Copies of this chain bind each other. A is one copy, B any other.
Amino acid sequence: MNTETRVGSCNPEVTELVARLRQGDVRALARAVSLVEDEAPSAWQILSCCFSYTGSAMRIGITGSPGGGKSTLVDGLARRFRGQQTTVGVVAVDPTSPYTGGAILGDRIRMRDHEADPGFYLRSMATRGSLGGLARSSADVAVVIEASGKQRLLIETVGVGQDEIDIARLADVTVVVLVPGMGDDVQSLKAGIMEIADIFVVNKSDRDGADHVEKEVRAMQSLAAEHGSWIPPVVRTIATTGAGIEELEQAVDQFWSWLAQEERLIARRETHWRARLIDMVRHELLRELRGRGLSDQALAKISHQVVTGQQNPYQLVPQLLEPLIRR
């Protein structure tokens, strides 16, 4: 990267854009989010400007299997927060299939009820950049939305893969949504997802099997003594009717109070930033390399040579890096 253009005081255009989104201009916010999501040349400056306005919002990650009713739950929570005059930003991470109409349509539907509400903003992460990194881009998007003055950020992911789990894990409070009738699925889900829960929600709890799911969670908790002194509560909800949303909010607040003690929130955010800084560094290094030598064209040629046995990738990669790295 060019250090001069990417670091330091923002150029007038970026300064104005950030000032406008800070004043509640929704179009400026949407534009800034798009620039960041698209990794536009100004993205780094926008983030650098926005970062100073972040740190005080509560980030709530909500994850679980597809079809668990996460969106409805997020909407319910958002509505509740708005009813208390708390401003809300939502980042919905649900990589979209070329088969579907795409996230933009989904956003429109979900935004309908909040259309005239400047205290609410929702953004779906539809695209996965060519360099990957949905976790990075959603974290960046959250920075911009928080800078617009949102007090609570709800980050919703389909929490079945590592990428999506990582996103939820980067929140201050992580809510894992289960549903009755998952049967053995709680067993399979527990790889990765059960450990990250600060709060469990059993949604659709009017269905048969709610007791069973809760019992399974409890059984697993008894095996995992090392989780520390916070034992994740299990909250039952029926998101479609709003039942249990108040209890969920209380659980979130209780966990937030617990986090505030003994610098736990700071420690948690430090862990998050360690992972995030590494990801940022890795990403920037790759950008640099792509700009010099490892162009798409060069990469295509090398890939062909590897497949046809003319190149050994394990010999080649160190050679590729040699001219880039200062010793």
Please list the residues of chain A having a beta carbon within 8 angstroms of any beta carbon in chain B.
Answer: 1, 3, 6-8, 44, 47-48, 51-52, 55, 65-67, 94-100, 128, 131-132, 134, 158, 160-165, 183-185, 188-192, 194-195, 220, 223-224, 226, 266, 269-271, 273-274, 276-278, 280-282, 284-286, 288-289, 294, 299-300, 302-304, 306-309, 312-326
Say whether A320 contacts B281, CB under 8 Å. yes
Chain B residue at minimum C-beta to C-beta distance from A183: B67
Docked CA distance A59–B97 (Å) = 25
Contacts of A286 in B (CB 8 A): 278, 281-282, 285
Say whether A315 contacts B48, CB under 8 Å. yes
Say whether A307 contacts B191, CB under 8 Å. no
Kindly identify which residue among B134, B307, B324 contacts A269, using a CB–CB cutoff of 8 Å: B307
Chain B residue at minimum C-beta to C-beta distance from A322: B3
Contacts of A6 in B (CB 8 A): 318
Which of A67, A184, A277, A289 gathers most chain B CB within 10 Å? A277
Say whether A277 contacts B289, CB under 8 Å. no
Task: Identify whether the interface residues of A are mostly helix, strand, loop, or mixed.
Answer: helix
Docked CA distance A316–B276 (Å) = 13
Chain B residue at minimum C-beta to C-beta distance from A162: B163
Chain B residue at minimum C-beta to C-beta distance from A131: B278
Say whether B1 contacts A318, CB under 8 Å. yes
Contacts of A270 in B (CB 8 A): 300, 303-304, 307
Q: Considering the complex of A and B, which 5 residue pairs feature the smallest CB-CB distances, nearest first? A: A161-B161, A66-B188, A160-B160, A48-B314, A273-B303
How many chain copies?
2
Say whether A312 contacts B95, CB under 8 Å. no
Contacts of A97 in B (CB 8 A): 190-192, 194-195
For the complex formed, measure the closest distance between the CB of A213 and the CB atoms of chain B, giving whole angstroms: 15
A97-B195, A273-B313, A325-B325 given; name 15 further pairs at CB < 8 Å.
Answer: A7-B319, A48-B312, A48-B315, A51-B313, A52-B309, A52-B312, A66-B189, A99-B190, A99-B220, A100-B190, A134-B162, A270-B300, A278-B294, A285-B286, A326-B326
Docked CA distance A223–B101 (Å) = 11
Say whether A67 contacts B188, CB under 8 Å. yes
Say whether A313 contacts B162, CB under 8 Å. no
Contacts of A320 in B (CB 8 A): 281
6 A-B residue pairs with Cβ-Cβ distance under 8 Å, sorted by A, are A98-B226, A158-B160, A270-B303, A281-B294, A282-B285, A285-B285
Contacts of A312 in B (CB 8 A): 48, 51-52
Contacts of A282 in B (CB 8 A): 282, 285-286
Say whether A317 contacts B95, CB under 8 Å. no
Contacts of A321 in B (CB 8 A): 1, 281, 284-285, 288
Contacts of A195 in B (CB 8 A): 97-99
Docked CA distance A288–B309 (Å) = 27
Contacts of A318 in B (CB 8 A): 1, 3, 6-7, 44, 284
Kindly identify which residue among B132, B164, B191, B273 contacts A94, using a CB–CB cutoff of 8 Å: B191
